[in-house]
Amino acid sequence: MASEGLNPEDFNILLSHDPTHWEEKIMNDKDVNLTMSGHTHGFQLGVGLGDYKWSPASLSYERWKGLYAENGKYLYVNPGFGFLGFPGRVNMAPEITVFELNKA
């Protein structure tokens, strides 16, 4: 496994293609602090009204876009900038995320 030999004293980041991997394997792993994922593309369709956000991706993925925290672990799901099938996006803007990490 990629996390073998990680120092739990360090802040460990994992890149994982599919956000379901976080729930199945990482969420309870004491050695991974932040997982960055993609895969869903937000199903290239979104609805947003104020703070309410919805996408058909939510029917297949509990965590489909944005930052999630559980058990002291974090998952960020990026909707990406590509597409699958339909060559477009409706209210699901392409995204490149920039993280600024600072030592505590």
27, part of any domain: yes
pLDDT for residue 88: 85
Cα–Cα distance, 86 to 89 (Å, whole number): 8
Nearest Cα to Cα of residue 14 among 4, 48, 103, 90: 4
Question: Which DSSP symbol is given to 44?
Answer: G
- Average confidence score pLDDT of the chain: 86
In this prediction, residues 59-80 reach a mean pLDDT of: 90
pLDDT digits (tens, 9 = 90+) for 38-54: 888 888 888 988 888 88
Instruction: Give the three-class secondary structure for 24.
Output: helix
Classify residue 45: in a domain, yes or no.
yes
pLDDT attached to residue 13:
92
Say if residue 1's pLDDT is above 70: no
Q: Give the length of the chain.
A: 104
1 located within any domain: no
Give the structural domain span for 17. Answer: 12-104
With respect to residue 7, please indicate whether it lies within any of the assigned structural domains.
no
pLDDT the model gives residue 37: 93
2: in domain: no
Give one DSSP letter per residue of 74-104, joined into a string.
EEEE---S--SSSS--BS-------------
| Domains identified in the chain, total number | 1
Q: Is 24 domain-assigned? A: yes
